[in-house]
Amino acid sequence: MSGFGGLNKSENGVVIGLVQCQLPVVRTPEELAAQTQRIVELVGKARRNQGTMDLVVFPEYSLHGLSMDTSPEIMCTLDGPEVAAFRKACIDNTIWGCFSIMEANPGGNPYNSGLIIDDMGAIRLYYRKMHPWVPVEPWEPGNLGIPVCDGPNGSKLALIICHDGMLPEMAREAAYKGAEIIIRTAGYTAPIRHAWKITNQANAFCNLAYTASVCMCGSDGTFDSMGEGMFCSFDGTVMVEGGGRVDEIITCELRPDLVREARTGWGVENNIYQLYHRGYVAVKGGAQDFPYTYMQDMASGQYKLPWSDQVKVVDGTSCGFTAPLRAYKGPESHPLVPQVPRTVPDIPDQPDSSHRKATGA
């Protein structure tokens, strides 16, 4: 039950809006500024659309489009004008927001990053996409892990991005860290439609979590994104599902308290607990071992499929990218994001590129 999309909000409910944002074309700083303004306007639309909404979610690539352009002049930073505009929009509309940026990286390719900003303008979650959609995407692999943050009305939120959701370990890690609502933003196009639906449902059921997922929508003249925002309950059923209408905001009320009840009260199909407590009817506490070979091999740096030597696509050259020479340096400690006061700079008419030059991007 979704409370008629959140119109009848319950005491323990969290109402989320998923924006099936029109796929933009962004090639210049001027177009970046214009798309920033468009997202700000849609934050306002979300608030006017539904006074009960707690969090509005924008898809991956909602700011930059699907060109895969890594030009330094259109990359963003956390202290740049685009993020400042998103912070101000959340303050002005008294709403939480989830946003996508392509983030400058002085040490390599840009990151595909996501932010959750609260209604006071503070960044509450900062995530770098762990699994870029190879061989199509040129982004640096994320190195900050999968953070979880406190969300509105006592909820616990996590964010994974697009292809992340195709790997069950990602949603499992988010739930293991306590996430009750797993947000998934994407730019997917129609060929991925079936996989999109079943993984959103599986990620919810396997982890006793809600999933709230949304793609870009419409055409940029080359690509056709599919929209299809969807909310899945922790039993894997689809609660609300959108279609392909551009800029439509799909809404639903989620109940994190019911997730907590299921996680502590379910016996049958309490999968995330039973993963490490196998057969507890037969043996006290269940088997608490580590029987999964692929996990053991990953931990020891020896992960290898029986067919690894026969895999043909192992870099981005088939999509026009130069084969990389750098090795992955490993994870970073998560940077502390400075909290901002309620006064946030207005959106500039043209983006100020000085913050990008300062980072060496």
DSSP, collapsed to helix, strand or coil, labels residue 21 as coil
What whole-number percentage of the chain has pLDDT above 70? 92
Of 76, 129, 248, 253, the active-site residue reads 129
pLDDT band at 133 (very low <50, low <70, confident <90, very high): very high
Of 21, 76, 162, 217, the active-site residue reads 162
Token pair recorded at residue 161? 């991005």
With a cut of 60, say whether residue 350 has pLDDT above it: no
pTM of the model: 0.93
- Interval 25-82: pLDDT, tens: 999 999 999 999 999 999 999 999 999 999 999 999 999 999 999 999 999 999 999 9
State yes or no: is 129 an active-site residue.
Answer: yes
201 Cβ contact list (under 8 Å, min separation 6): 211, 232, 236, 237, 238
- Interval 200-239: pLDDT, tens: 999 999 999 999 999 999 999 999 999 999 999 999 999 9
- Interval 278-335: pLDDT, tens: 999 999 999 999 999 999 999 999 999 999 999 999 999 999 999 999 999 888 887 7
Query: Is the peptide bond between 291 and the residue preceding it cis, with omega within 30 degrees of 0?
Result: no
- What domain range includes position 188? 3-358
With a cut of 70, say whether residue 356 has pLDDT above it: no
CATH of the domain at 354: 3.60.110.10
| pLDDT of res. 359 | 35
| pLDDT of res. 154 | 96
Token pair recorded at residue 127? 């995530």
Q: How far apart are CA 202 and CA 318, in angstroms?
A: 31
| pLDDT of res. 335 | 74
- Interval 172-190: pLDDT, tens: 999 999 999 999 999 999 8
| pLDDT of res. 18 | 98
- Find the mean pLDDT for residues 16-23: 98
- The residue that leads in pLDDT, 353 or 270, is 270
Of 60, 137, 180, 228, the active-site residue reads 60
- Find the mean pLDDT for residues 9-22: 96
Q: How many domains does the chain have?
A: 1
| pLDDT of res. 333 | 80
| pLDDT of res. 361 | 31
- Interval 251-267: pLDDT, tens: 999 999 999 999 999 99
| pLDDT of res. 344 | 52
With a cut of 80, say whether residue 337 has pLDDT above it: no
Strands (E), 120-209: 123-128, 148-150, 156-161, 181-186
Token look-up 């400042």 returns 84
255 Rama class: left (phi>0) / alpha (psi -120 to 50) / beta: beta
Q: What's the distance, Cα to Cα, between the start and end of the chain in Å? A: 47
- Find the mean pLDDT for residues 114-126: 97
State yes or no: is 357 an active-site residue.
Answer: no
Nearest Cα to Cα of residue 258 among 155, 150, 151, 152: 155
With a cut of 80, say whether residue 98 has pLDDT above it: yes
